[in-house]
Structure 1
Amino acid sequence: MSPPPRAAPSRLAASAGAGAAAFRIAAAALWLFAAGAAHAVLDCEFNGRKVNPSDGSSTAGKTGLMRCKDRETGELQREQQIQNGVLMGLARFYEKGKLAREHTLNAKGHIHGLAREFAANGQVLREAVYDDGQEHGLVRSFYPSGQLRRATLYPAVGADRAFVEFTERGQMSALRCGEVPMLAPAADDARLCGFVGGPSQVELFDTAGVLRSRVSYLAGKRVRSQSFYDNGKPSVQDEIVGRQRTERQFSSEGVKRRETVWLLLERNAVRQREQEFSEKGTLIRDRRWDRAGEPIGDDSYHLNGRPRSKSVYRGTGDARTVEITEFYDSGQRAAHGRYLVAGRGRQLPVGTHRRFSEKGVLLAESNFDAKGRVTRERSWDENGELLRDDEVFEDGSRKTIMSR
């Protein structure tokens, strides 16, 4: 469908537009002139006559090619097309007599169409297409050797940007897939991103040629990745199966130190389980959450594999509690108590809390009210003989019921 015709501008609007355009042209000329003049004083000429690109009157009404040279060395610095007094058309910039970059300006002073940058040997270093000052389509950059360095696709609004990077050896070093294949002919992202032939297998290298990661994509989505240490041992593994994402972290010796599992929802991910491991690989902590992200269990372990503590959550809302039991490394219970789960992870002790010796003898007992305030404390010796019995009041004062 063709766009609706635009209404003709009023004289005032046309005058204001012309003034704004003149300002942009003058500003562009000043910027271009200053860019060259930052390192050299330039002398510009148009058809053999001197002109000053920062003074619009010297080029007013002219059409043709302006050339600027370094006053001291006489080296060509810039060539710029002028159309009816406007800096418009092809612009070329030189360094030490060699073409360094070129592009085309539209009537608004914006880069429009093909733009390129060059190495001293004439090799293209960057190549892009602009649409009224905005990069559009496939943008490519190269090493001085001519090897492709990076290719980026700037698609229409609403689509994901995709890119691929290579080392100077020609090995892939980075990849980001789009919603559909879009990097050809720079890269076969239909295959690399798993749009054809099932999940892909991609290897990414650093500049020294060392394998840094392996990545698998399916229909443009990353489903598995694995990164490596310098010694080749795995560093991090990340895998998605169905609606579950699992991340594993390893030490430089290859020992798994952490594993985290998320449930993938429509707009976010909810952590479901997280396990921590010792330097030797033994489980030292195991935490679990429900589908709403609320904790349901938190267990820790001694290095000998026996329980260190167990936390069990119950209830909902303001009545939610956690019951915590602690253990000696022998397996004997060391303490037990219940807590009210308050906001921001705070826990208020409620009910009766007890601590035991390694032989299972009760050593201390504290009673708490519904607000987490201690109301009574008792203690015993290793033989089970009562040592002290105190009643505790709201202001913190005590009344000793029995003391030995």
Structure 2
Amino acid sequence: MNARTHMAWMSVLMGLTGAAHAVQDCELNGEPVNPANGYTTQGKTGLMRCKDRDSGELQREQELRNGVFMGIVRYYDKGKLAKEQSVNAKGNLHGRARELYPDGQVLREATYDDGHELGLVRSFHPNGQLRRLAFYADPGGERAAAEFTPSGQLSALRCADRPVLAPALDDARLCGFVGPQPSQVELFDGKGGLRARLSFTTGKRVRSERLYDNGKPESVDELSGSQRTERRFSSEGIKRYELVSLIAERSALKQHESEYSEKGSLVREQRWTPAGLPLSDDSYYLNSQPRSKTVYSGEGLARVADITEFHDNGQRAAQGRFGAPAPRGRLIAVGLHRRFDLQGRLISESNYDDKGRVTRERTWDANGLPDRDDEVFEDGSRKAYAK
């Protein structure tokens, strides 16, 4: 018996009987047997029936064939059939299996092949409406699935690379395998509200739009060729985020990413090369003035980032170059770095070596006159340059 089947059996034995420690009396062909004692069932064939010793209620029926537990297995809850399945000689689920609500309505039905779900698997709402539909392949597991509200409206859909959900669902049409145009699919919540719109082409989702309660878009995800565009919006319909990526076989490379304020103004914009290397990174104040601008250049270990920072009045605040040998690594200050006041006047300079260590610092007073000029050593100590 595999691990999944074993866990399923334990759940049934602990849950469906309603009395995990209840004593059961079992009989086979009118004779008492103990399923935990192989000597009492050795070589026997028939349907073993087990009842609760205190209440006399039937709790389990299980088929034996020449002393081996295989074939039909039924579990009962308060005398009513709750689960029916079949197992093979290894104890793995094999063949049709179903679970039932207390009123006899089917809760779930599936087909197993040596412990693995295979083909269509259905589960149902208490009112009999289909709750979930899935298709399983071996190997591969779940390949496609659809979910439904209690009123029968579609609430979720995942397509395979070919139609597999018929006759329960026309996924050939819904998943875009019919006609040249992408399919148009609407998804609903339990209250009947429209929550999403999807489009598929030959099983591939090419567009999804998630909606707020007020009907405005929450997010939009579109695929065009190898380019994917994702957008997110506020409940008032204002765009807050956008990401454009190149889709490779097993990865997605960012190309352009933008973030927006609550009022819709741009607050950050980043760009990358087709290979995924950073090109630029710009940020903005809420008054639309630039906050910082970063431009990347060079190749490999010689790759650098030139960064300019700004005051909120538009005047330059700082400027310097940084080594950027790794795409996502720490930036290392190199060369001459300058800082400026609100009027754009130079107030300080720092020189860095190729290891990011400051070697000289100079400052100027409010009148633009030299204020300090220090040589800086590795241990942090300083010495003024001779005037």
Q: Is the structural similarity TM-score above 0.5?
A: yes
**Paired residues of 2:135 and 2:142 also in contact (CA < 8 A):** no
| Corresponding letter in the other structure for 2:322 | Y
Residues 150, 31 of structure 1: CA spacing in aligned structure 2 closer, same or farther, 3 A cutoff? closer
Q: Is the 8 A contact 1:202 1:215 kept in 2?
A: yes
Equivalent-residue separation in structure 2 for 1:262 and 1:39 (angstroms)? 57
- 1:161 has 2:143 as partner: yes
Match of 1:241 in 2: 224
The yes-or-no answer on 1:269 pairing with 2:252 is: yes
Q: Which has the larger radius of gyration?
A: 1
Query: In 2, are the aligned partners of 1:282 and 1:305 still within 8 Å (CA)?
Result: yes
SS in 1 for 2:122: strand
Separation in structure 2 between the aligned mates of residue 33 and residue 378 of structure 1, nearest angstrom: 80
Q: Partners of 2:380 and 2:43 in 1: how far apart? A: 93
**What are the equivalent positions in structure 2 for 1:371-390 lying under 5 Å apart?**
371-390=355-374
Could you tell me which of 288, 293, 296 is aligned with 1:310? 293
1:60 matches 2:19 = no
Residues 89/365 of structure 1: CA separation in 2 closer, same or farther (3 Å cut): closer
What's the counterpart of residue 4 of structure 2?
A: none
Change in 2 beyond 3 A, CA 1:48/1:305: same
Distance apart, 1:146 and its partner CA: 1.0
Task: Confirm or deny: 8 A CA contact 2:27 2:48 kept in the other structure.
Answer: yes
Structure 1 residues 394, 110: CA separation in 2 closer, same or farther (over 3 Å shift)? closer
Query: Structure 1 residues 30, 314: CA separation in 2 closer, same or farther (over 3 Å shift)?
Result: closer
Q: How many pairs were matched up? A: 377
Moved more, 278-287 or 95-104: 95-104
* Cα 1:323–1:31 shift into 2, 3 Å: closer
* Candidates 308, 316, 326, aligned match of 1:325: 308
1:360 is aligned to 2:344: yes
Secondary structure of 1:345 counterpart: coil
Q: Distance in 1 between matches of 2:219 and 2:170?
A: 26
Measured at CA, do residues 90 and 226 of structure 1 come closer, stay the same or move farther in structure 2, by a change above 3 Å? same
Structure 1 unaligned segments of length 5 or more: list them. Answer: 1-19, 21-27
Q: RMSD across aligned C-alpha pairs, in angstroms?
A: 2.5
Answer whether contact 1:237 1:249 (CA < 8 A) is retained.
Answer: yes
Q: Is the 8 A contact 1:30 1:54 kept in 2?
A: no
Alpha-carbon contact 2:300-2:325 (below 8 Å) kept? no
1:184-333 pair list within 5 angstroms: 184-197=166-179, 198-333=181-316
Contact 1:33 1:53 (8 Å CA) reproduced? no
Q: 1:159 touches 1:178 (CA, 8 Å); kept in 2?
A: no
Query: Where in structure 2 are there 5+ consecutive unaligned residues?
Result: 2-7
Greater CA deviation, 385-394 or 31-40? 31-40
Per-residue CA deviation, residues 36-83 of structure 1 (Å, 9 max, x unaligned), is: 562532222223222222222223333222222222222222222222
SS at match of 1:44: strand
Residue 115, structure 1, aligned to residue 65, structure 2: no
Q: Closer, same or farther in 2 for the Cα pair 1:386/1:76, shift >3 Å?
A: same
- The 8 Å contact of residues 60 and 84 in structure 1, kept in 2 or not, is answered as yes
- Deviation >4 Å, runs of 4+: 28-37
